[in-house]
Structure 1
Amino acid sequence: MRLIRKIYQSFIDKPFKEGMVLNGRYVVLNIIGAGSYGIVYLCNDLKTEENRVVKQLRPSKRRNKKEIGLFENETSVLGRLNHPNMPSLYEAFSDNEYFFYVMSFIEGDNLEDLIFFKKKTFNERESLLILDQLLELVDYLHKKDIYHQDLRIPNILLKNNEPFLIDFGLSKKGATAAPIQSPASSLQKKQEGILEMKQQDYYDLGEILLYLLYTTYSSKNKKALPWTEELSLEMQTVYLLKRLLGINKHYTDISEISADLHAALKANEKAHSP
């Protein structure tokens, strides 16, 4: 059954070829990504002569209410963003029951390619500084009641050593404004759900920090050891990581993370000052 589904999808989900014009405006230059429910194209906007990113819901998913819902949710989230380090939504359109949306093109290498293919390294201070910038982006989202839920190194672009956040396909919107008539238990569940989404983003930030820190690690042991033994880090950085990853008490607020992050930066600066 799974094989039949894959064959069906490969037949139905043929991407548009280079030169194809979408919505009478966007010329396909190439495919820059393909996920479980979307195909992403780099296009040239004939009206502005600027490059844009056009995301298409896979044709095989266009009659699936859940997948359409995810696509519409992502479009809705992007429409609420107004940040220079995140994509801007220009428009959404449909053509012959194909669904698309158009967003800004952010040029840069994602962290996954930088780390694994270009072998870029980040020392402890550089890693903490990137986390500091990412924390500002996540804080912006959380203040808008948006939770990314997919903070991973492929979804972070680096341009001039500045991180940009992309791919909001799994993002969720919270419910901070509960109706007055809501029962206390219902309000409590909403608050617990929001805290859980926050902590998922915090955990993901911890994993990103680990990826960055491991870029300077050279294994001398045949046996893999826990990161606490493999990495030589300042005590404050270890404390920060343990809380982000939930090994120690979970963070509940970004201000807590920011305070510990700046303590780690200060300790690192002191340790390496002449």
Structure 2
Amino acid sequence: MHERYKVLKVIGSGSYGIVYLCKDLKSQENRVVKQLRPSKRRHRKEVELFKSEIALLHTLNHKKMPKLYETFSTDGYFFYVMSFINGDNLEDLIFYSKKTFNEQESLLILHQLLGLVDYLHTKNIYHQDLRIPNILLKNNELFLIDFGLSQQQILSAPSQLSSGSLQNNQEDTQEMKQQDYYDLGEILLYLLYTTYPSKNKKALPWTEELSLMKETVYLLKRLLQIKEPYSSVREISTDLHAALRANEREH
């Protein structure tokens, strides 16, 4: 592959792309190489989406997210190269290693994740695929990967937009923001269920199955839009800290 990268194994495969763990023969370091799936390369829209993903990664400069190194094409096939983060994804930790997270640990994971989401949102980037397979843990530090579905809002000056276009832009931004917040709620709920003994044959709502501090319940209900949805990371952070303080007092 490009004569510089030796494929070690396939580490991800979807309808859109194939992800390889490779050895960089020049630096002797491991890298991740993503390829646009060959069946997609003749579709202009798919190629443009792949290029958009590259452009988005190019704007990232965060030690807890992948770093873009280079792009190349060989015989009409499209690739890009990024840093390899040697961590365990949350999905594998929960399902294969049977790792559990109590209420406080779950809230602390959310705290780290919220910081990464805040970084993205200040750059008008919305991840849109916050799920446990896309979160890595390494020495209790959290890393965020897979920006294949991410969207970056290119904001035009209000004077250049009609009132209708401006309103549509704001609505789109709010929708993407809310999707990320909702996904944070789903992740928190997932983590909280790792300590739940599923002996009850009758499926009950999480509000009845889980014994949580009222501050955590309130946080979850707003993230999951059961109560008034959050409008900013700052709002979430305020309630998250209240839930953490409540847990510290309890223990």
TM-score (norm 2): 0.98
Q: Give, in angstroms, the shift of residue 23 of structure 1.
A: 1.1
Aligned pairs for 1:37-48 (under 5 A) are 37-48=16-27
| C-alpha distance in 2 between matches for 1:61 and 1:184 | 37
CA contact (8 A) 1:176 1:191 kept: no
Write out per-residue CA displacement over residues 45-95 of structure 1, whole angstroms, 9 at most, x where no aligned residue.
111110000000111111112221221111111111000000000001100
The CA distance in 2 between the partners of 1:94 and 1:69, in whole Å, is 14
Q: Give me the whole-angstrom Cα distance separating, in 2, the residues matched to 1:145 and 1:249.
A: 23
User: How many Å apart are 1:185 and its aligned residue?
Assistant: 2.0
Cα displacement string for residues 204-246 of structure 1 (whole angstroms, at most 9, x for unaligned residues): 0000001100000002311111111110000000000000011
| Structure 1 residue 113, shift from structure 2 partner | 0.5
Match of 2:118 in 1: 139
State how far apart, in whole Å, the 2-side matches of 1:165 and 1:201 are. 13
Gaps of 5+ in 2: none
Partner of 1:232: 211
Q: Distance in 2 between matches of 1:242 and 1:120?
A: 25
The match for 1:271 is 250
Task: Look up the match of 1:67.
Answer: 46
Q: Is 1:159 matched up with 2:138?
A: yes
Displacement after TM superposition at 1:177 (Å): 3.5
Residue number in structure 2 paired with 1:111:
90
Give the match for residue 183 of structure 1: 162
Deviations, residues 19-66 of structure 1 (Å, cap 9, x unaligned): xxx112011111111011111111111111100000001111111122
* C-alpha distance in structure 2 between counterparts of 1:70 and 1:184, whole Å: 28
Give 3-state SS (helix, strand or coil) of 2:160's partner. coil
| Structure 1 residue runs of 4 or more that deviate by more than 6 Å after TM superposition | none
Alignment match, 1:10: none
1:267 shift after superposition? 0.6
The equivalent position to 2:57 in structure 1, one of 69, 78, 94, is 78
Structure 1 residues 134-143 or 64-73, which shifts more? Answer: 64-73
For residue 193 of structure 2, what is the aligned residue in structure 1? 214
Q: Which residue of 2 aligns with 1:18?
A: none
Give the Cα–Cα distance (whole angstroms) in 2 for the partners of residues 142 and 259 of structure 1: 17
> Larger radius of gyration, structure 1 or 2?
1
DSSP 3-state at the match of 2:53: helix
Give 1:108 deviation, angstroms: 0.7
User: What secondary structure, in the 3-state scheme, does the structure 2 residue paired with 1:180 have?
Assistant: helix
- Which residue identity is paired with 1:64? H
Structure 1 runs not aligned, ≥5 long: 1-21
AA at the equivalent of 1:176: L
Task: Kindly provide the amino acid, as one letter, of the partner of residue 141 in structure 1.
Answer: L
Task: Output the CA distance in 2 between the equivalents of 1:257 and 1:179.
Answer: 28
Q: Which residue of 2 aligns with 1:129?
A: 108
Report the RMSD for the aligned CA atoms in angstroms.
0.9
Could you give the per-residue CA deviations for residues 103-150 of structure 1, whole angstroms, max 9, x where no partner exists?
A: 000001100111111100000000000100000000000001100000
1:156/1:165 contact within 8 Å kept: yes
SS at match of 2:148: coil
Q: Which amino acid in structure 2 is aligned with residue 178 of structure 1?
A: A
SS of the residue corresponding to residue 41 of structure 1 reads strand
Q: Does 1:90 align with 2:69?
A: yes
Of the three residues 179, 190, 199, the one matched with 1:200 is 179
CA distance in 2, matches of 1:47, 1:212: 40
TM-score by length of 1: 0.90
Q: How big is the shift at 1:179?
A: 4.4
In 2, Cα distance between the equivalents of 1:233 and 1:101? Answer: 44
SS at match of 1:270: helix
